[in-house]
Structure 1
Amino acid sequence: MMVKSKHLDQDKGYLFLLYGSLFLALIVVALGAFTRLTEAGLGCPDWPGCYGFLTVPQSAEHIAKAVQAFPDAPVEVQKAWNEMIHRYVAGTLGLLVALIAFLAWRKPSRDKTLPSILLAVICFQAALGMWTVTMNLMPIVVMGHLLGGFTTVTLLFLLCLFERRRVHSAANVSAETGDEAIVGAEQQDVQVNIDDEPASPAPHRIGGKLKLLAVSALVAVGLQIALGGWTSANYAAVVCTQLPVCEADWAGNYDVSAFHPISPTNETYQYGVLNFDQRVTIHATHRIGAMVVSVLVLLLAFAVRRPLGAIASISLVAALLLQISLGVTNVVALLPLSVAVAHNVCGLLLLLVVVKTTLGVFARQTSAARTSLRESGRLSHG
């Protein structure tokens, strides 16, 4: 029994590390949004330190040195702290991800693909954080940094789902057959389902149309998040103050050049460099994208209510309604800081819900196919 207990305790500790990292990653995304929305992205003009120091210069002597070293970047202590706190927390997350990858490769039964991808993403995310500062908030870099944060959280979320199921499966096997089973499970992959309940025959058939709808909703949410990042990076969030699309003649002045990935050359991109029509184009497209996402997510919620259950359907609708409410509040209240940060975090929440639903659709389809195959085998031997 000691072998079984040792292995299970190690896996539970690994799961605790994954859950903690996921929670910290959510905080990093929220802090990133807060930093961006408080115009603190250039609170420290260098990287990874701040005005040449490991922390924010506050004494008269340190501030004098900072001014001398960066005469074009006056010290704003509050903005500098916003930026450095974000860096400290993001750096801690990077160390945890490195630990996850290390522990994953030490144990044969643990998934190694996701931790390896996650480590690569977090390294690239650090580079994007550096380029955000050194390239003076170039929109494509700022948007990429936001998408990198969302990707990090999504990968951690998937890893938590898969590892939790693997650990629960191994625990159930060991409870039934003893230490030999748990040791054997360490040497082979455990079949993972993303549903919380054991695999069972699907009561409702899942066809290709539902899978296509799930993938379409997932892609639409991802593109909408990118549009939101582009809107924020180009300071286009408050150019339209009326609903449903914009009070300006956005259709008549629609300018596709607003989406060119390389922005016009400028010393700094803080506060934006695009003209009014281009910003209106970005904002209007983001709102139209929200309408498309709403339709697809509602259709998906209706379609999965039977094969995946009421909870999956309600989760989709609740996340969508919350995100729409926050978006409308941003418009009518002219982008209050707390609501704008919540809008970023809720966009991530909606993404995770759609990801889990999509996985559920494909996992249930696979489960149904296996059940059908087993039934066919029994009939052929009956």
Structure 2
Amino acid sequence: MFRTILQISIILAFIVVILGAYTRLSDAGLGCPDWPGCYGQLSVPDVKDGTTIQGFSRPLEAAKGWKEMLHRYAASSLGLTILVLFFLALKGNPQRYQSLKLPGFSTFFVMLQGAFGMWTVTLLVHPGIVTLHLIGGFVTTALLIWMLLNQSKPPAIYQHTFKKHKLILLIVLGTLSLQIVLGGWTSTNYAALSCGKYFPKCLNDWWPNMDFSSALYWGPLGANYEYGILENPARSAIQMIHRIGALITTLLILLLIYLFRNYTRFRSNLILIAILLTTQVTLGILNVVLSLPIIIAVLHTIVALLLLLSVIKLVHRAFKVPT
């Protein structure tokens, strides 16, 4: 049962990340201006669009409200399944030994994620809070995947991994994680189109006017950050940092694939990572030249998560010694 609930949790985690990305990219983060309900109700009020509901200054947009509420329903379901996992581990139900540390931390973390979901709304889509909420979704999924990997059978043939290669693997994991954070920061500051449709140039220039001092601007709590508040030179700087980070991450992953090419037991992992990397770079370019179509933007988020999980699986296989 533990493994079944764990697999359901992972599916829900993917759904939550997808719905979260879709909600953010369709500017529906404030579709319900309160939390956890929507205009004081458990679902979107059944009234005409544009109606100003008593107690709320923001007129209702039902489509945006439903996007936000579906995201909340899925996130609540995920929280419940993770809580069930904790109780199953507490009773000792996993097929393979699972300490309480990981299910316990996952339970705590998903509750923290709920708090960030609330702050995303109450702090009016502050880019720092929204970025942390996005990262939290990725971390939650990674924790569940790590638990599932712990439940898997050890490999029949074990091949020793050199320490220097393990170090490169950890560097790639850290760099990729930072690049995902930069991607979230680019999205939440509405900087994805700050370079226009130009690639690899930005605003038809290799190094346009950019304000790097404001690129990591946190900003005060309480201001309304919907559609962003930074000037375009700061947004262009964010976009260029993300592009440079993408180049560095790509080169490091290619180095990883080259160094690990002789480990036969990692071959399928490396092929998957190569496919996902190629797809992710392509989607990133298409986001720019096609002016951020929502389907491609959401896919860019999904593939980033899949790429991260693929590297995490490689870490698990390289560091986990069969007993």
User: What TM bracket, shorter-length normalisation?
Assistant: over 0.9
Q: How is 1:152-301 mapped onto 2 (pairs within 5 angstroms)?
A: 152-165=140-153, 193=154, 197-200=155-158, 202=159, 206-240=161-195, 241-247=197-203, 248=205, 250=207, 253-260=210-217, 262-264=218-220, 267-301=223-257
Q: How many residues align?
A: 317
AA aligned to 2:278 is L
Report the AA paired with residue 119 of structure 1.
T
Contact 2:50-2:61 within 8 A present in 1 as well: no
Structure 1 equivalent of residue 68 of structure 2: 83
Could you tell me the TM-score, scaled by structure 2's length?
0.93
Q: Which has the larger radius of gyration?
A: 1
Partner of 2:109: 121
Paired AA for residue 296 in structure 1: L
* Structure 1 position 164, deviation (Å): 2.8
Q: Is the contact made by 1:125 and 1:149 (CA closer than 8 Å) also made in structure 2?
A: yes
Q: Counterpart of 1:107?
A: 92
Match of 1:175 in 2: none
Answering whether residue 55 of structure 2 is matched by residue 69 of structure 1, we say: yes
Cα distance, 1:208 vs structure 2: 2.4
Output the CA distance in 1 between the equivalents of 2:262 and 2:319: 15
Structure 2 vs 1, CA of residues 258 and 242 (structure 1 numbering), >3 Å: closer, same or farther? same
**Structure 1 counterpart of 2:27:** 39
SS in 2 for 1:68: coil
Query: Secondary structure at the residue paired with 1:149?
Result: helix
Partners of 1:54 and 1:313 lie apart in 2 by 45
- Alpha-carbon contact 1:245-1:284 (below 8 Å) kept: no
Tell me by how many angstroms 1:126 deviates. 0.1
Alignment partner, residue 356 of structure 1: 313
Tell me the SS of whatever aligns to 1:69.
Answer: coil
Cα gap change, 1:277/1:116 in structure 2, threshold over 3 Å: closer, same or farther?
Answer: same
Conservation of the 8 A alpha-carbon contact between 2:123 and 2:222: no
* Higher share of residues assigned helix: 1
Q: How far apart are residue 198 of structure 1 and its match?
A: 2.1
Deviation at 1:333, TM superposition (A): 0.7
Conservation of the 8 A alpha-carbon contact between 2:286 and 2:292:
yes
2:9–2:82 CA contact under 8 A, matched in 1: yes
- Partners of 1:49 and 1:63 lie apart in 2 by 18
Q: Give 1:149's aligned residue.
A: 137
- Structure 2 Cα separation of the partners of residues 284 and 266 of structure 1: 28
Q: Is the 8 A contact 1:302 1:313 kept in 2?
A: no
Contact 1:40 1:82 in 2 (8 A): yes
- Amino acid paired to 1:303: L
Please give the alpha-carbon distance, in whole angstroms, between the structure 1 residues aligned to 2:182 and 2:251. 17
Of 6, 14, 31, the residue aligned with 2:2 is: 14
Are residue 310 (structure 1) and residue 296 (structure 2) matched?
A: no
Rounded Cα–Cα distance in structure 1 between residues aligned with 2:33 and 2:272: 42
| Alignment root-mean-square deviation, CA | 1.9
Mapped to 1, the partners of 2:310 and 2:104 lie a distance apart of 23
CA separation in 2, counterparts of 1:148 and 1:257? 24
The alpha carbon displacement at 1:110 in A equals 2.7
Letter in 1 for 2:33: P
Mapped to 1, the partners of 2:239 and 2:211 lie a distance apart of 11
Q: How many angstroms apart in 2 are the aligned matches of 1:50 and 1:249?
A: 45
- Identify if the C-alpha distance between structure 1 residues 266 and 94 changes in structure 2 by more than 3 Å, giving closer, same or farther: closer
Quickly say closer, same or farther: Cα 1:155–1:357, change in 2 above 3 A: same
8 Å Cα contact 2:125/2:225 also seen in 1: yes
Any conservation in 1 of the 2:126–2:221 contact (CA below 8 Å)?
no
Whether 1:25 aligns to 2:10 is: no
Q: Is the 8 A contact 1:57 1:63 kept in 2?
A: no
Shift of 1:211: 1.1
Aligned match of 1:335: 292
Question: Any conservation in 2 of the 1:264–1:273 contact (CA below 8 Å)?
Answer: no
Q: Distance in 1 between matches of 2:31 and 2:45?
A: 12
Distance (whole Å) between structure 2 residues aligned to residue 331 and residue 252 of structure 1: 18
| 1:63 Cα offset (Å) | 8.4
